[in-house]
Amino acid sequence: MRLQLSAPSTKNIQKTIQVTGSKSETNRSLLLRALFPNISIENLSISDDGEVMQKGLQISSGEVDIHHAGTAMRFLTAYFASQPNKEVVLTGSQRMQERPIQVLVEALRSLGADIQYVKQEGYPPLKISGKKLTKSQVSLPANISSQYISALLLIAPSLENGLELELVGKITSVPYIKMTLGLLEQIGVDFIFEGNKIKVDPKEKVMDTKLVVESDWSSASYFYSIAALCEVGTKIKLSSYKQNSLQGDSVLSKIYTDFGITTTFSDNQITLEKTEESRQENVSYDLSNAPDIAQTIAVTCLGLGMGCHLTGLHTLPIKETDRLAALQTEMSKFGAKVAIDSESLTLQPISSIKSGVDVDTYNDHRMAMAFGPLALKTDLIVNDAGVVSKSYPDFWKDLKTLGFGVSEM
């Protein structure tokens, strides 16, 4: 699907949008419910990643294909490895077969798991023969992906001796680890997280517990970007959000004050209001705790003619695409000057951007969604726009609700 995007007739938007549940909270909650059946879940993410996780958890033998879903790949690897009587081949899209998983496989093997690489050493697909894991101490690098750590933490309470993790190196994407621990806390699991050690106690049964998934903050980022590119007075309300979020991307409410956006929380809703024009020429952020909003922020800056220096982006090259390279290529099409290295991106301020650009999306939902708001500044085309279904299938429909021109070519 190739979409032509154009600006709404008014840049003073006053609308309300219901955003689907967080895919990160959803896929954790689903795994916990598979281990502890008296958990119930509300506001599940309606998305490809949530769907493949639900399907994967129902399978006991044969092939499980999780497409592009990183969390499903990592969480299900730990799940199947710890389930006696289950034997599966866990596979995914071509890109998933290029996303590393060795750290998790090594950690699980050190606990006694039986996991074989089907094709290339260190990468999916994996042949997993589930076993009862009785060892309880594991050490693993923490600087590549926090999902390996969350995967181990999620199965930890179901192991007969619990689990003690030693995290080696600088811990990346820390809020996602805290999100996992936050959910364990909600189901009554005891743990200690001190320095580079996490200890999780075993738990045989949990009380009847309802996990209510908050809507997705990474998805909210595109509305922050839209509000920032609109006129002062714009108000966009999003449901269902709360002030004490488990999601690290809720840092958006602070970051976007630099772009003139004030966030107010009330009755499960946030209101994003553009209260002033941004007065800064350059901004800089360390996004090692919030990697998924890097693309949004970079494109907001491009639209506002601002420069930015984003650091802590060392995980971006191994996500749905190499996001640093993809951002550089696509922003350059608009006339931007963008420099990247292995962990940062620098955008120079520019006074005007080119129109009629064809944005390529590289099978990455966030490439499509990050560039969408730029239609407020210039007409553009988004190629393979259906990729948004990974986390936010209604994204284009919701853009139409805000008044954007969205037409298939």
Ligand X SMILES: C=C(OP(=O)(O)O)C(=O)O
Site string for ligand S3P, 135-164 (x = CB under 6 A): ----------xxx--x--------------
Contact 286, 331 (CB under 8 A): no
Choosing from 70, 125, 303, 373, the residue that interacts with ligand X (CB under 6 A) is 70
Encoded tokens for 157: 């309470």
Tell me whether residue 176 or residue 334 sits nearer to ligand S3P (CB atom): 176
Tell me whether residue 293 or residue 302 sits nearer to ligand S3P (CB atom): 293
Q: Which stretch binds ligand S3P (CB under 6 A): 123-131, 169-177, 229-237, 332-340?
A: 169-177
Tell me whether residue 298 or residue 406 sits nearer to ligand S3P (CB atom): 298
Angle at 22 between CA 18 and CA 24, to 5 degrees: 170
The one of ligand X, ligand S3P, none whose footprint includes residue 77, by CB under 5 to 8 A per kind, is none
Catalytic sites, residue numbers: 292
Laid out side by side, the sheet with 380-382 consists of 357-359, 380-382, 3-6, 405-408
Give dist(CA 78, CA 115) in Å, integer: 10
Measured CA distances, 107 to 89, 138, 202, 334, 371 (Å): 19, 6, 18, 44, 38
For 240-330, where are the E strands, in sequence order?
Answer: 261-266, 269-274, 282-286, 307-311
Collapsing DSSP to helix, strand or coil, 49 comes out as helix
Tell me whether residue 28 or residue 237 sits nearer to ligand S3P (CB atom): 28
Contact 259, 293 (CB under 8 A): no
Contact 402, 6 (CB under 8 A): no
Range 22-81, binding ligand S3P (CB under 6 A): 24, 71
Q: Is 23 annotated as a binding residue?
A: yes
The one of ligand S3P, ligand X, none whose footprint includes residue 141, by CB under 5 to 8 A per kind, is none
Q: Which stretch binds ligand X (CB under 6 A): 34-42, 62-70, 124-132, 188-196?
A: 62-70
Q: What's the first-to-final CA gap in the chain, in angstroms?
A: 8
Angle at 235 between CA 232 and CA 238, to 5 degrees: 145
71 binds ligand X (CB under 6 A): yes
Contact 357, 381 (CB under 8 A): yes
The one of ligand X, ligand S3P, none whose footprint includes residue 300, by CB under 5 to 8 A per kind, is none
Residue 190: CB minimum distance to ligand S3P, A: 21
Q: Where are the alpha helices (DSSP H) in 206-251?
A: 217-229
The one of ligand S3P, ligand X, none whose footprint includes residue 391, by CB under 5 to 8 A per kind, is ligand X
Residue 192: CB minimum distance to ligand S3P, A: 20
Give dist(CA 142, CA 174) in Å, integer: 9
391 binds ligand X (CB under 6 A): yes
The one of ligand S3P, ligand X, none whose footprint includes residue 29, by CB under 5 to 8 A per kind, is none
292 binds ligand S3P (CB under 6 A): yes
Q: What is the DSSP letter of 308?
A: E
Residues belonging to the binding site for 3-phosphoshikimate are 23-24, 28, 145-147, 173, 292, 319
Which residues contribute to the site for ligand X (CB under 6 A)? 68-71, 292, 319-320, 366, 391
Which residues contribute to the site for ligand S3P (CB under 6 A)? 24, 71, 145-147, 150, 172-173, 176, 291-292, 315
Residues belonging to the binding site for phosphoenolpyruvate are 23, 70, 99, 147, 323, 366, 390
